[in-house]
Amino acid sequence: MKGLVMKKLILAVSLAMIAVGAAHAGPPAPKQQGIEGKDYKWNAQEGEKIEALKLKGDKKRGLEAYEVCGACHLPSGAGRPDGTFPQLAGQHTTVLIKQMADIRAGLRDNPTMYPFAATLTDPQELADVSVYIEGLCIPAEHGKYEGKDADKQVAAGKELYEKECKECHGANGEGVKDKFYPVIAGQHYKYLLRQMTEIRDGHRRNANPDMVKIIKKYNNDQLVAISAYQSSLVMPGSMCKAKAPAKKK
């Protein structure tokens, strides 16, 4: 497959550049104003996104397409506990497709991953890789809040979460598939804290305006607490069994 060879080449170069700490070469990502702009319509149903959402994904082809992704997000989809690469396993296909399309369209910055998102131009391939990722079990081991006051932070975060977040992200962090609300369970603390901060400060320009309204009023301490709580969430039935390798359905 020509596309795959090309992607592996990009991958080798990218990983080498990450290793030496160099900025990424190659075409810069486009940039859209998103939530900073006046006419922002969150999750406008247009372009390749609706195409991919309509298609039925194929897990077998998805496994193949996921190969390049696994270099950063790991073959299990677990990402890294230090939060550099998010956990993807078990995420809703709708969320995966929307985030990929937004990164491609310049609504969400991700310079490290952009070259890969940029080559994923085929809506069928996007549907395939998404259905594959959604089918992966969520690893129970992931980056959590590690301070001595963890119990206190988790308790404070729980109070906030249940009041203002549960409605969209669910009591167990399960999100809502057909509304594009992400799964939070199993996500790494440091990634969560980074996303919360970027969304609050307007840097994740594809963010949901209702969520932004809520999170705008939180100070840094509250973001720490709420991230600590989120990283403690467990989604029954979707987590990997202890010690078993990521199962491929």
Binding site for ligand HEC (CB under 6 A): 11, 14, 68-69, 71-73, 84-86, 88, 96, 99-100, 110, 112-113, 116, 120, 129, 161, 164-165, 167-169, 180-182, 184, 192, 194-196, 206-208, 210-211, 214-215, 226, 230
| Nearest distance in Å: CB 243, ligand HEC | 25
Cα(47)–Cα(43) distance, integer angstroms: 11
213 or 242, CB closer to ligand HEC?
213
87 or 242, CB closer to ligand HEC?
87
Beta carbons within 10 angstroms of residue 74's beta carbon: 17
| Nearest distance in Å: CB 27, ligand HEC | 15
68 or 105, CB closer to ligand HEC?
68
Any long-range contacts for 40-49 (C-beta under 8 Å, 24+ apart)? 40/209, 42/206, 42/207, 42/208, 42/209, 43/98, 43/180, 43/208, 47/101, 47/105, 48/101, 48/104, 48/121, 48/123, 48/126, 49/97, 49/98, 49/101
Q: Are 93 and 178 in contact (CB under 8 A)?
A: no
85 or 145, CB closer to ligand HEC?
85
| Nearest distance in Å: CB 148, ligand HEC | 23
Cα separation values, 39 from 42, 75, 210, Å: 10, 39, 15
169 or 240, CB closer to ligand HEC?
169
Cα(32)–Cα(102) distance, integer angstroms: 9
| Nearest distance in Å: CB 181, ligand HEC | 5
Q: Are 100 and 93 in contact (CB under 8 A)?
A: no
| Nearest distance in Å: CB 198, ligand HEC | 7
